[in-house]
Amino acid sequence: MQPIGDDDVERVAAFLHARLNRRVPAGAWTSLLRPPWAHRGPNRGFQLLADGEVVGVYAAVYSVSRTGRSVCNLAAFCVLDGHRGHSLRLLRAIIRQPGFVFTDLSPSGSVPALNARLGFEHLDTATRFAINAPRLARHAVRIAERPEDIRALLEGTDLQVYDDHCGALAARHLVVHTAEGYAYLMYRRVRRKRLGIFAAPIFVGGDPAVLRDAWPQVAARLLRHGLPVTLAEERVLGFTPSGFGRALGRPRPRMFRGNGVDACEIDYLYSELPLLDW
């Protein structure tokens, strides 16, 4: 077992494409391992080798959070059947790195239970299945989606977040602006039961109240983009959209691990969520 270095990225990406998810091109895995922001961290995760061949990978994405913490995002986990006994070694190699807050934002299968045994905590991911119904336009609400318009509206940290993520393959962006101010929404398209018709918010910047008040117009814009449903996670949006919808009985788990870190400090930026469309 050894860290994934820059020279290993192409073969690790080919392994993840062939063994974890063939719907995701090898080039997209490469983009995950070489994210578009400046901070890259000490490695790209860890790999398990047998006779010189990759047989297991735990890919990691590193960043410095908006609160100044060093974050290691556990981004993709795959070990071949004959080597599953070494899976825990890969995870331990990552989380033994000192000084990091660790996030796992899309764990599946037995991974949440394994994470819990290693000290990870669950985030409150209460989510509403909200229908994006067509609405009458309000002239006081404007929605910007062109990069040059977005950059002209954003300020401070929000502009830095946009610049860091505008090249992320799965991230989509819009800015709502009114007389009261602006709100910045980053979201992704999500597949459920092979249907890629769901919008999932990743981040809200600016004034969340502006987004809340303009949500009918935002929902109509998402519908125009072929996304008739929003998976509205309250901890991301800061509110629950009104109108047609229902609460999800079993929202996707998201987890974190870090001494002295409060759940409210954890966001979904600088992770596989904006980087990878699966």
Secondary structure (DSSP) of 55-104: EEEEEEEEEE-TTS-EEEEEEEEEE-GGGGGGHHHHHHHHHTSTT-EEEE
Q: Which of 91-95, 111-115, 124-128, 137-141 has the lowest mean pLDDT?
A: 137-141
Instruction: Average the pLDDT over 40-46 and give the result.
Output: 94
Tell me how crowded residue 165 is: count the other CB atoms within 10 A of its CB. Answer: 22
Assign 3-class secondary structure to 180-201. CEEEEEEEEEEEECCEEEEEEE
Structure tokens at 87: 């899976």
Q: Which amino acid is at 269?
A: L
> Which strands make up the sheet holding 245-247, listed edge to edge?
142-144, 172-178, 181-192, 195-206, 229-233, 127-131, 245-247
Q: Which of 50-64, 240-254, 258-272 has the lowest mean pLDDT?
A: 240-254
Q: Would you state the pLDDT for residue 243? A: 76
Could you give the domains of the chain?
2-121 (3.40.630.30), 127-251 (3.40.630)
- By the 8 A CB rule, do 236 and 199 touch? no
Q: Would you state the pLDDT for residue 244? A: 80
Instruction: Average the pLDDT over 40-50 and give the result.
Output: 95
CA distance 74 to 272: 8
Q: Give the pLDDT band of residue 250 (cuts 50, 70, 90).
A: confident
Query: Which pTM value belongs to this model?
Result: 0.94
In this predicted structure, the answer to whether residue 131 has a pLDDT above a threshold of 90 is yes
CA distance 106 to 181: 33
* Residue with token string 């954890």: 266
- By the 8 A CB rule, do 16 and 57 touch? yes
Q: Would you state the pLDDT for residue 138? A: 64
